[in-house]
Structure 1
Amino acid sequence: MDLFPYSPRPNQAEFIRLIEEATANDRHIVVESGTGTGKTVCALVGTLQAALRTGKKVLYLTRTNSQEKQVITELRKINERQAVFGIAIQGRQVTCPLFRRDPDLKGGSPEELSRLCREKKRKSMQDQPGGCRFFTETRLADHDELANHCRSTIPTAEEFVEYCDQKGYCPHELLKELAREARVVAAPYAYFFMPFIRNSLLDWMDVSLGDLIVIVDEAHNLPDYTREVESFQLSSWALDAVEKEIEEFGDPDVLPTASIRDVLVEMKRLIQEALAEYLIDEDGLIPPAFVEEGLMSAFTTSSRGLQTMAKALMEQGEVIRERKAQEGRLPRSYIHGLGGFINFWTSLDEAEYVKLIIGGDNPTLRAYCLDPVVTTSVLLGCGGSLHMSGTLVPLSEYRDTIGLPANTALATYPSPFPQENRRIFYLEDCTTKYEEMAQDEDMVPRMEEHVVQICNVMDRNTVVFFPSYALMDRFIGDKVLARIRRKVHVEERGMGQAELMEVVSRFKGQRDEGAVLFSVVGGRISEGIDFPDKDLEVAIIVGVPYPRPTAKQRALMHFYETKFRKGWEYTVKVPTFRKMAQAIGRLIRTETDIGAAVILDRRAKQFSERMEMDETQAPVNDLVNFFKYHTGKG
């Protein structure tokens, strides 16, 4: 506890000892740590004490900027006891002054931006036009002065970018240098779980994988995140972009019997055939060899011929990417992407992937990764790892899902805040179960009436969480907003981060009179934003957010039923509980917070063994009485 900067709360000393012992011995630990347990500072102290003893470094992975800022805040407190240098890293979209100023480059992938950056640096070093003035200025900087500034201030990523902007430096280049000196690096998930970026980061930090302790914050997100990292797709819009590239760069042959345009036409035809034959609702399972057989038949070729075709597409795409980079444009080639898709699709491990057709405005062929271990297995080579979240129970499910060893330490530390400060109610008279909603035409109006009554009586900030945008849109279409006598804010589909934060800020600013916010379970509001004190006092969950029974979901359930004999539990029950727990967890962020949740779904009682809740037949009265008991005011 030498590094711990506060008076310890109950269980914190034990928590830190457990972390230090595991990570000092290259082991792994999975922890559910409730609100108020101080998991960020405990994680830093425990891993740092292990790192300082063993010569390791600490990589603290976060999902959001606010979580990364909290890491730096706690590291500053630790530095009041002992000097421990750390930095916060963000992607080039945030740190590169050129890319931040160019809207055409903001959407670039890490690989694309790295390539463009490399080309601009090359031109700068050779005094050619089109280089980067920020890189040139950085080479002339007083690096000792800069390092001393960072050691003394331990800046957040945003503060460091602002400091560099004032000096005319490139923050990204300087962070690469500072990472070598840092004992702690805070970074987004992508810096470790995307191989291309991980290899660069290890090089910057001058550390081998075995000498790195990895902390995964909000770890309940990791399985889905890593599945997405390994998934691959080809959309109709991407094929339209291939056509534009053909018009600009030409249409060479990629087989004796086919040009790029021929492949494009056939891929569009295959997507349409898959939509007609296999789509059910929003997606559909397609036969494993559907695309391969279609292409081989169309061009009278073999599976080896498909690999030759894919290689030729990627080679043409590489020429396009190189030319764009030299011109200072985003080095993206959709022809290269088409070749990469065909290569990946025809060679993937079908035990770990499912092949899907996705409907909608942009029909898409998708190879969805079922097994996070394809990505997370890299953790087994680390010098220990800590995985933590406020909603991680059952811990064995998380351990199994991401492939941690059987000797992984498992621990739970509940919130120290008074349990009586939070109440959860559920109703028996409604559900969002599809069959019942279809049979009972009064079901949705009944739920709408509950929402309207609660919002109109409770003059407290209230978030209404929906299981999907579709149901939220149904409420809005039914004029529910007009029936609520308070200001209603809406988290709209596709809303940008800045716009969303403005909505949240306005909602929080009306806490005295009480506002309403419509949001979606599992989204940014339910998982990534704090609502302390009276910023949020009432949460309404409009239905248990079970996943839709899509082809992808059914394939996932089959995979885990085959692997662990726990398909339903691991892919439906556990994720659903975590989503609800995250949303309800927004209510209590400090020891003096008071809040209540109402779940409009009789199925909620299935989770009562993990979350204390009571049935209510009069939700408005029960809410009024709860707040009157705690505050004297209903």
Structure 2
Amino acid sequence: MENGSPRFPFPYQPYTIQEQFMQSLYCALEQGKVGIFESPTGTGKSLSLICGALSWLRDYEEKRRQETAALLQGGEAVLSTSTSLPSPATQSSTSCSSAEPDWITDFVQKKAERDLVSKLKDDELKRKKREERLEMIRNNVQLKYAMKRKSTEDDEAFKLLQLSKEGPVEASGDPEEEELIIAEYESDDESKTKSKFSGAEDDEDDDLVEEHVTKIYYCSRTHSQLAQFVHEVQKSPFSKDISLVTLGSRQNLCINEEVLRLGSAQRINDRCMELQKNKHEKQHQEESVKRKRGPAKSVCPYVGATALQQLRDEVLGTVHDIEHLLSLGREMHACPYYGTRLAIPPAQLVVLPYQMVLHEATRRASGIQLKGQVLIIDEAHNLSDTLSCIHSSELTGAQLCRAHSQLTQYSDRYRSRLKAKNLMYIKQILFAVEGLVRALGGKVGQNPQSQTTQPGTELLTINNFLFKAQIDNINLFKLQRYFEKSMVSRKLCGFMEKYAGTGVNPHTHTSSNKENRRTEGLNRYLQTLQSSQSAAPVSSADQQGSAEAEKVLSASPMMQVEGFLMALTNSNTDGRVVVHRQGTLSESSVKFLLLNPAVHFAQVLKECRAVIIAGGTMQPVSDFKQELLFSAGVGEERIAEFSCGHVIPPENILPIILCSGPSGQELDFTFQNRDTPRMMDETGRILSNICNVVPGGVVCFFPSYEYSRRIVSHWEASGALARLANKKKIFQEPKKANQVEQVLSEFSRCIQRCAADGGGLSGALLFSVVGGKMSEGINFSDDLGRCVVMVGMPYPNIKSPELQEKMSYLDKHLPHSGGRSAGQALIENLCMKAVNQSIGRAIRHRGDYASIVLCDRRYSRPATISKLPNWIKARTSAHTTFGPAFAALRKFFMDKKQKQLQA
């Protein structure tokens, strides 16, 4: 720092708003605040976050070094002045008024001072060791370190990868069978006497339990956003000095082709865990010779301890994104998934997806420790919804029947070899699954596709659902611990992988015809389930969804059951269960809906030193604070807010609210009015006029796919679509995600050709949907988006049972504000959040310019205007008639054209 003010290294001269952003961020981290930071896309938000946060981390570490050095120096000086203790005789004469002799008090004080100095020395020594090791890594001098730890490398990998240890089991003819047997289960009470020994073991070697350095966790929604952030770090002045690791799922980081071919995330996870367990079988080499079906239980070749350590060192030495990690992993023959997890403790910046940090069980499994650390949540405008989705859970009748059948077969086969406590808990799980099926109106043991249910939707509190399913007498907390410790879901997955659908009789090595018939029955039943699912008629539009459903069905359903039962341990007031019957048991479902996301966010806020919640637009902030922060117990004094304008000049944006169209028709796209021919015709006339004066690309957002289809069909019949096509080439947003890139590419090429030709067409018109593939994360910069048109207000479906329950919950638990209930505020906020995300697509950098046209008189209400981003709100004008609005639009683009000609 210079003169008490932090300095921020930056790759170029920062804008004023970037300097303000970094200064505010630095203060929020220093003071341990919960910061809400709003910075429009195109203002360099990522770079400001990087340089502001890492400047704080640099100064924080330097300050700690200085304080430790000063305390050490001061402590040693104090101790050196008194090398001997005063004699009791001397002290006793002056201690008349003291409860204890002064020589005892002095001794205690000196001992405390010596202990403090000793602790400071230990801390300083650990810090120096960490820095030396990191320096050694960066200089690629790893040989000595590797040799030092060679004797313990297998134990270290085993421990840090958090792989479960299995107790001894009785010998058997087939070693693969032993892997499927659940080890003897100990409850928490039974294992208390053993826990103290694990602590002693941890202290044996300080290197094995690596201390977490002060770090910053940065999370965002998608892997592409994380990769973009890492590229910004690489461009920053901190790229050479920071130790960064990017975390991801096995699906994104696995390099084992055999595992990747399994497709679904759940199957990849299950197979990976099985491979890790096989690696730690003591007699693996001898057993592999005895195997009759060796390939079924192979070992992953990418998890050797030495290779993982070398990959970890390489990761910490240079900033890598996920693509580089995959290349490195293949080159070094080391797993990027486990290598990056080993790199978490010494890393200063950890980049990871939302769910890995916001879900407690995932945090624990990944080795993420938030205590005293900094968390930055980017793209956080939908944080509340994200938390609700992460902690919600859904099960179909088909999955429930499948899970029950699998566990029944497992229990029958290994009954004689499972301990009594395991059998007791398995019986409880089966009983719970039967109850869930019963709540859907069905029975286990029969094909769910052939069982009919009375169609309807029912919303229940958690307690009422437990009573309805008749499982209220089961202790779900104990059951949850059993799932976690016994790994029964994974054992079951291994059992199914070994026996189901192989076409091989699984009991050829035994003489029990009864067992043969039982397992053959299992295979037939599972095949019936799969064939009945795939036999259902599927429309072309739903093929993608069906493929996903098939992946979920083929994955271990007990994992989903485990997640659902865990969700039921939430407080009765914080969630609801939706029982949805759809004609057949197979298609019916039970869904846990989290109503209070703050309950899961509270732990994050409590543990972290500071939490920064950042986004392009965080409006409306007041409701965000109420629902997510105040409800989590955060006081107003801990919250810091920062909102900046855009880097573009004010004259580069023209936001217009249209209250009526060219023919004078009032624009009111309420559900009752929007389908009328006159409203659809007026919308066509508005677009036609806009296309006459706007060059390049026009992006028009409709409130839903269904409304987009209806209005385009109407224009096709009336000839309006053909008239629009004469002015600009028309493109429509595809429903399938894998076609988005192609449509965008053609849209872009068309605009470029039109600009170059200067012929009849003046660009392109793209029909999009709010909340669709192109309303978030897509850049319509420069000529791609000179005008964004919003048709109507995209209110969510208020008839949705889930939304109604959420509104009811908020009305009961949150105060009214501005004369409206918290439930009404939720509806308005969801709508305006979606609008803000869509209209922010056009302005992407300082030199960009665009117009925004909001077509609906309801946008002109002061309460609605107030929810627009500040940088848009300040320039917004509402027009009751179309003429002045169109004149302003024409003048805006004529001025821009004139400036370009002069330039």
TM-score calculated relative to the size of structure 1: 0.84
**More deviation in 181-190 or 261-270?**
261-270
Answering whether residue 721 of structure 2 is matched by residue 556 of structure 1, we say: no
What letter matches 1:77 in structure 2? K
Q: After superposition, what is the alpha-carbon deviation per residue over 1:109-133, rounded to whole angstroms, capped at 9, x for unaligned?
A: 4xx6444322212324545553354
**Conserved? CA contact 1:275–1:357, under 8 Å:** no
Write the deviation string for residues 46-81 of structure 1: whole angstroms up to 9, x where unpaired.
222332344520111111234223322222233468
Distance of aligned partners of 1:266 and 1:522 in 2 relative to their CA distance in 1, 3 Å threshold: closer
> What is the DSSP-based 3-state SS (H/G/I as helix, E as strand, rest coil) of the residue aligned with 1:527?
coil
Question: 2:594 is aligned with what amino acid?
Answer: C
Distance 1:437 1:531, change over 3 A: closer
The answer to whether structure 1 residue 217 and structure 2 residue 378 are counterparts is yes
1:431 equivalent to 2:668? Answer yes
Separation in 2 of the partners of 1:461 and 1:176?
Answer: 45
Aligned residues: 610
Give the counterpart letter for 2:350 in structure 1: V
Correspondence 1:492-511 to 2 at 5 A: 492-493=734-735, 495-496=736-737, 498-511=738-751
Aligned position for 2:302: 135
Matches within 5 A, 1:143-154: 143-144=309-310, 147-148=313-314, 151-152=317-318, 154=319
Instruction: Look up the match of 2:330.
Output: 165
Distance 1:256 1:359 in 2: 23
Moved more, 554-563 or 387-396: 554-563
User: Aligned residue for 2:858?
Assistant: 603
| Aligned CA distance change for structure 1 residues 305 and 262 (closer, same or farther; 3 Å) | closer
Say if 1:466 and 1:541, in contact at 8 Å, map to a contact too. Answer: yes
Deviation of 1:590 after TM superposition, in Å, equals 0.8
Structure 1 counterpart of 2:744, one-letter code: V
Q: CA RMSD in A?
A: 3.9
Distance (Å, rounded) in 2 between the aligned partners of 1:444 and 1:360: 35
- Partners of 2:377 and 2:480 in 1: how far apart? 37
Indicate if the aligned counterparts of 1:463 and 1:539 stay in contact, CA closer than 8 A: yes
Distance in 1 (CA, whole Å) between partners of 2:351 and 2:787 is: 33
Distance in 2, Cα, partners of 1:48 & 1:585: 28
- Cα separation, 2, equivalents of 1:308 and 1:72: 40
Measured in 2, the distance between the counterparts of 1:546 and 1:379 equals 31
CA distance in 1, matches of 2:785, 2:28: 37
Unaligned runs of 5+ in 1: 297-301
Match of 1:299 in 2: none
Point out the more displaced range, 239-248 or 53-62. Answer: 239-248
Q: Which moved more, 1:165-174 or 1:25-34?
A: 165-174
**Cα 1:266–1:133 shift into 2, 3 Å:** closer
Equivalent in the alignment of 1:539: 788
CA distance in 1, matches of 2:16, 2:454: 58
Q: Secondary structure at the match of 1:97?
A: coil
Q: Which amino acid aligns with 1:333?
A: S
8 Å contact 2:489–2:558 — kept in the other structure?
Answer: yes
Q: Give the 5 Å matches for 1:480-499.
A: 480=716, 484-485=724-725, 486-493=728-735, 495-496=736-737, 498-499=738-739
Correspondence list, 1:254-403, <5 A: 264=437, 267-269=440-442, 275-276=455-456, 279=457, 285-286=459-460, 291-296=465-470, 303-304=472-473, 319-324=491-496, 332-335=555-558, 337-338=560-561, 341=564, 344-345=567-568, 347-357=569-579, 362-377=587-602, 378-403=604-629
User: What per-residue deviation string (whole Å, max 9, x for no partner) do you get for residues 15-62 of structure 1?
Assistant: 222212221332221111123432212212222233234452011111
Question: Per the alignment, in what secondary structure is the counterpart of residue 16 of structure 2?
Answer: coil
The answer to whether 1:625 aligns with 2:891 is yes
- For 1:414, the equivalent position in structure 2 comes to 645
Cα deviation for residue 326 of structure 1 reads 6.5
Q: 1:533 to 1:275 in 2, by over 3 A?
A: same
Where 1:425 maps in the other structure, the secondary structure is strand
Distance 2:406 2:610 in 1: 46
| TM-score computed with the length of structure 2 as normaliser | 0.60
Letter in 1 for 2:298: G
SS at the partner of 1:7? coil
Q: Structure 2: which amino acid aligns with 1:446?
A: E
CA contact (8 A) 2:395 2:589 kept: yes
Structure 2: give runs of 5+ residues left out of the alignment. Answer: 1-6, 62-213, 289-293, 414-425, 444-450, 502-550, 660-665, 755-762
**How far apart, CA to CA, are the structure 1 residues paired with 2:52 and 2:825?**
30
Deviates more, 1:355-364 or 1:561-570: 355-364
Q: In structure 2, which of residues 380, 388, 400 is the aligned counterpart of residue 227 of structure 1? A: 388
Moved more, 77-86 or 67-76: 77-86
**Matches of 1:80 and 1:258 in 2, distance apart?**
56
Aligned residue for 2:783, secondary structure, equals helix
Distance 2:253 2:261 in 1: 14
Give how far 1:333 is off. Answer: 3.2
Give the distance between the partners of 2:478 and 2:315, measured in 1 at CA.
54
Q: Contact between 1:520 and 1:526, CA under 8 Å: does it hold in 2? A: yes
Q: What do the CA deviations read for 1:534-592 (whole angstroms, capped 9, x no partner)?
A: 22222121211122213322322233333232415641223322221111111100111
- CA shift at 1:398, angstroms? 2.1
CA separation of 1:236 and 1:114: change in aligned 2, threshold 3 A? closer
Letter of the aligned partner of 2:322 in structure 1? A
Tell me how far apart the structure 2 counterparts of residues 530 and 30 of structure 1 sit (CA, whole Å): 24
Greater shift, 188-197 or 619-628, is seen at 619-628
> d(CA) in 1 for partners of 2:336 and 2:724?
48
Contact 2:302 2:335 in 1 (8 A): yes
Query: SS of the residue aligned with 1:44?
Result: helix
Q: CA deviation at 1:93?
A: 0.9
1:11 alignment partner AA: I
User: 2:276 corresponds to which residue?
Assistant: 121
The corresponding residue for 1:193 is 358
Residue 518 of structure 1 pairs with residue 760 of structure 2: no
Opposite residue 376 of structure 1, the aligned amino acid is F
* Contact 1:354 1:370 survives alignment (8 Å): yes
CA distance in 1, matches of 2:683, 2:258: 45
Post-superposition offset of 1:184: 0.8
How far apart, in 2, do the equivalents of 1:422 and 1:522 lie?
A: 23
Structure-2 change in CA distance of 1:166 and 1:478 (3 Å): farther
CA distance in 2, matches of 1:93, 1:81: 27
**How much does 1:501 deviate?**
2.7
> Would the aligned equivalents of 1:230 and 1:374 in 2 still touch at CA under 8 Å?
no
Aligned residues of 2:10 and 2:237 also touching (Cα < 8 A):
no
Does residue 20 (structure 1) correspond to residue 26 (structure 2)? The answer is yes
Stretch of structure 1 that moved more, 505-514 or 480-489: 480-489
> What CA distance in whole angstroms lies between the structure 1 residues aligned with 2:410 and 2:344?
40
Q: Which has the larger radius of gyration?
A: 2
1:528 alignment partner, SS class: coil
Q: How many angstroms does 1:11 deviate by? A: 3.1
% identical aligned pairs? 21
